[in-house]
Amino acid sequence: MPYSRRNGHAGVTQTTAEGLAEGPHRRRTIVTMATEDAVREALATVNDPEINRPITELGMVKSVEIGADGAVAVAVYLTVSGCPMRETITQRVTEAVARVEGVSRVDVELDVMSDEQRKELATALRGGQTEREVPFAKPGSLTRVYAVASGKGGVGKSSVTVNLAAAMAADGLKVGVVDADIYGHSVPRMLGADGRPTQVENMIMPPSANGVKVISIGMFTPGNAPVVWRGPMLHRALQQFLADVYWGDLDVLLLDLPPGTGDIAISVAQLVPNAEILVVTTPQQAAAEVAERAGSIAVQTHQKIVGVVENMSGLPCPHCGEMVDVFGTGGGQTVADGLTRTTGATVPVLGSIPIDVRLREGGDEGRPVVLTDPSSPAGSALRAIAGKLGGRQRGLSGLSLGITPKNKF
């Protein structure tokens, strides 16, 4: 009865049959050679870690050579010479090709794209468009864009933005965050994003943290240097974040706006008119009045207010569990009622987030509380709000339905 067994080398099968003569001809070795088609098929499963598309589709595979002994040499183009993901790409290529039958060894050689190749890649990523444009402003965009606004600083707007983004990403959505608070940028630290953007021609590949793509002016400034810009520079920076960054197909984009109703809020309305405003306030009546003012800008910019989030709604007593109203009560509902009267549309309170030291610690350590302690009072409240926002569908307003009116004549 003949039988087969594998030895320690991929793709090599030794077949032994009973009844064969004793001696050197007792065993036969049948070697299955790897083919270039099989190797390229394996490479098609390797995604670029920044662009998240197959390297074969991006024109990153330079060559494939297969030796007689089953050794495979793969040459891969990097987008830039200082690509921070070179080790990750090498590892992914090695693991994918090593699984091909007949491959005994994998050698990966890295090269760098020429200027012309980078231009072709940038054009391909823009869908054939050579001019930069904001993809989220297109009529056919299905990305839900939320501009997180507040009337004044210190209400926890950035903490809310980061945790909502992390919670949505944990639920399986593709999420991006634009740190539009140019002067007071803090999103990278809070999200734990310590990577640097990679530039391909005039296109920027954003780093990711906790499953969220993020871009911030803090990634381009040395150390903790301040940004001293006037209005036109702020507009241009936001435009670059929206148009020059390769976001891919996002389900949700969150913009962490600076407090108030200044240049950035106006630029968001111009660049992404379909963005919906999410107002963050505290229960304090003085803060609520300012927050209502910030939300009312939607009337002038013709934007929709998706809802109000009340942060720091109370402090649970560590001894008895009773809620202590440190900043008063009712601010969130006051803002919602005022905005409902101003806009003529119902503005709901999406949730109230209690004071929780773990929320603050998570922001300092770059570990969002919705991931580290999702069942905590703050974590539960934030996840509930993220579920409401993430589960919403983009409205039909502005979308091309592909309907052609029938000609009656």
Instruction: Say yes or no to pLDDT of 403 above 50.
Output: no
In the CATH hierarchy, which top-level class contains the domain 135-390? alpha beta
Instruction: Say yes or no to pLDDT of 404 above 70.
Output: no
Instruction: Answer whether 36-113 and 135-390 agree in fold.
Output: no
- Whole-angstrom Cα distance, residue 98 to residue 392? 43
**pLDDT score at 49:** 84
Percent of the residues in the chain that have a pLDDT greater than 70, as a whole number: 84
Return the H-helix or E-strand segment holding 36: helix 36-43
- Exposed, middle or buried: residue 300 (CB in 10 Å: 0-12, 13-18, 19+)? exposed
CATH architecture, domain 36-113? 2-Layer Sandwich (3.30)
**pLDDT score at 307:** 93
More confident: 49 or 5: 49
Extents of the domains making up the chain: 36-113, 135-390
More confident: 131 or 48: 48
Q: Reading across the β-sheet that carries 105-112, which strands appear in turn? A: 61-66, 71-78, 105-112
What are 343's two structure tokens?
């806009």
Instruction: Say yes or no to pLDDT of 334 above 70.
Output: yes
Give the distance from CA 318 to its chain's centroid: 36
CB 146 within 8 A of CB 367: no
Segment 239-263 shows an average pLDDT of 89
Instruction: Say yes or no to pLDDT of 228 above 60.
Output: yes
Give the confidence band of 394 by pLDDT, cuts at 50, 70, 90: low
Strand pairing report for 144-149 and 252-256: parallel
- Contacts for 362 with CB less than 8 Å, ≥ 6 apart: 163, 190, 368, 369, 372, 373
CA distances from 219 to 187, 201, 232 (A): 10, 18, 20
CB 231 within 8 A of CB 202: no
Output the average pLDDT for the chain: 82
More confident: 14 or 366: 366
Strand pairing report for 12-16 and 175-179: unpaired
